[in-house]
Amino acid sequence: MSREPGLSVRLKLALSYAGFLMVAGGLLLAVVWVFLLRYVPQPPAWSPRPGPHSPTRYELLHAFAPRAAVMAVFLLVFGLVGGWILAGRMLAPLTRITDATRTAATGSLGHRIRLPGRGDEFRELADAFDAMLERLEAHVGEQRRFAANASHELRTPLAITQAMLDVARGHPERVTGELIERLYAVNGRAIGLTEALLLLSRADQRSFARERVDLSLAAEEASETLLPLAEEHGVTVEVAGDVVYVSGSDSLLLQVTMNLVQNAIVHNVAGGGFVRIGTEARAGTAVLTVENSGAVLTPEVAATLTEPFQRGNERVRAAHAGTGQAGTGRPGAGYAGVGHAGVGLGLAIVAAIVRAHDGTLALVPRGEGGLLVVVRLPAGG
């Protein structure tokens, strides 16, 4: 925004200090006049002056006025100079904050003010600005990584599709049902990834209407929908808990439950594994828990599972290479989301939706193997 040039804050403060001193000096002179000079008698000019001479009001005023004027000029100069110096010292932190803001505006988010000294208004502002820069830098870095990963993930199915189409165009006789099925599968993966990205964007922007949602119903629906998948993997699914209401999007919260349950089923023990889903209310908080058996995870591995495009099976295989403890399940599925397995957005979507509902998500590795996921949302409705 372009503005017309005006007086600096430092000059305004200096003028204010000088003006204050002038007013204080004027009040002091007024007090002298009211309580001193007006009580000095002013005899008539024709009256005789016997005895020792005593100064009259006129004589006192004549002697006092020039010196008062000199003092007023001194107060004005002293107020301007002193106010200018004091204002500069007072506004020095604000200058550093302004410089840091201009640096951040150029795209350099790594700069920090780190204003020394005891706490005051300027230092509170500087600390808040540093915290904002830190969050902004992390957010921008996350968005850049997300954009790069999304571009890479989308490029892969599109490149595969292009290669298959080139083969089909160059050799029409080689167009078979298998080629069509492969094209269909690759295209489905690209569609699933696109839908996952849109869902993640919708959750981050909080562009949804809030309504009264029963988490226990969402848990039951997710378990019933994914029952064929659980039977395929030989995993038992148990649902228990109380009726718990929250305020939010029914479809998004159902997506949270579906993603968590599907992850728990896929990343489990082949034959004999379990998934336990529970809901309860704790002191104004609605809690959804999804617990499953599976491979042993370290806290470091569990902490990365909510990052976009992080695949659980790949992380587990890296953590347990050569131990034979890597999780079972369909290749490439890992901790993916329902409808977009393998793209590594399942728990990222869960984290975004929970965050958009002002909740928290915790992933706790079980000592005997598997994972405990705890979702806490403000109870409401």
Rg (CA), the chain: 38
199 domain-assigned? yes
pLDDT at residue 199 is higher than 80: no
| Per-residue pLDDT tens over the stretch 276-322 | 999 999 888 999 999 999 888 888 888 888 877 665 544 444 444 43
Domain boundary among 171, 190, 205: 205
Q: Which residue has the higher pLDDT, 356 or 36?
A: 356
pLDDT tens digits along 131-146: 998 888 887 877 777 6
State residue 46's pLDDT score: 55
- Does residue 265 share a domain with residue 157? no
Tell me, yes or no, whether 62 and 182 share the same domain. Answer: no
Which two structure tokens, joined as six digits, stand for 98? Answer: 């302004």
**How many domains is the chain built from?**
3
Q: What is the mean pLDDT of residues 126-131?
A: 89
pLDDT tens for 320-355 read: 443 334 333 333 333 333 444 445 677 888 888 898
CATH of the domain at 287: 3.30.565.10
Same domain, residue pair 85 and 233: no
Question: Which position has the higher pLDDT, 363 or 93?
Answer: 363
pLDDT of residue 288: 95
pLDDT value, residue 205: 67
**58 and 153, same structural domain?**
no
Last residue of a domain, one of 185, 205, 225: 205
With tokens 């080629």, the residue in question is 179
Range of the domain at 277: 211-378
CB 288 within 8 A of CB 216: no
In a domain, 303, yes or no: yes
Residue 3 lies in a domain: no
Mean pLDDT of the chain: 78
Mean per-residue pLDDT, 369-379 = 93
3-state secondary structure the chain: CCCCCCCCHHHHHHHHHHHHHHHHHHHHHHHHHHHCHHHCCCCCCCCCCCCCCCCCHHHHHHHHHHHHHHHHHHHHHHHHHHHHHHHHHHHHHHHHHHHHHHHHHCCCCCCCCCCCCCCCHHHHHHHHHHHHHHHHHHHHHHHHHHHHHHHHHHHHHHHHHHHHHHHHHHCHHHCCHHHHHHHHHHHHHHHHHHHHHHHHHHHHHCCCCCEEEEHHHHHHHHHHHCHHHHHHHCEEEEEEECCCEEEECHHHHHHHHHHHHHHHHHCECCCCEEEEEEEEEECCEEEEEEEECCCCCCHHHHHHCCCCCCCHHHHHHHHCCCCCCCCECCCCCCCCECCECCCCCHHHHHHHHHHHCCCEEEEEECCCCCEEEEEEEEECC
Q: What is the pLDDT of residue 311?
A: 55
353 with 252, same domain?
Answer: yes
Residues 211 and 249: beta-carbon distance below 8 Å? yes
Residues 218 and 362 in one domain: yes
Same domain, 225 and 320: yes
Residue 305 lies in a domain: yes
Co-location of 246 and 356 in the same domain: yes
In a domain, 179, yes or no: yes
Torsion, Cα 131 136 141 147, to 10 degrees, reads: 160
Is residue 226 assigned to a domain?
A: yes
Specify the higher pLDDT residue, 15 or 288: 288
Q: Are residues 154 and 130 in the same domain?
A: yes
216 belongs to a structural domain: yes
User: Is residue 177 located within the same domain as residue 275?
Assistant: no
Q: What is the CATH number of the domain that holds 192?
A: 1.10.287.130
Domain endpoint, select from 176, 205, 234: 205
Q: Is residue 289 part of a domain?
A: yes
Average pLDDT over residues 43-67: 65
Higher pLDDT, 180 or 343: 180
pLDDT tens by residue, 57-111: 677 777 777 877 888 888 888 888 888 888 888 888 888 888 888 888 887 888 8
Q: For residues 199 and 223, state if they share a domain.
A: no
CA distance 111 to 105: 11
Give the predicted TM-score (pTM) of the model: 0.55
Question: Does 147 share its domain with 191?
Answer: yes
The average pLDDT across 208-218 equals: 89
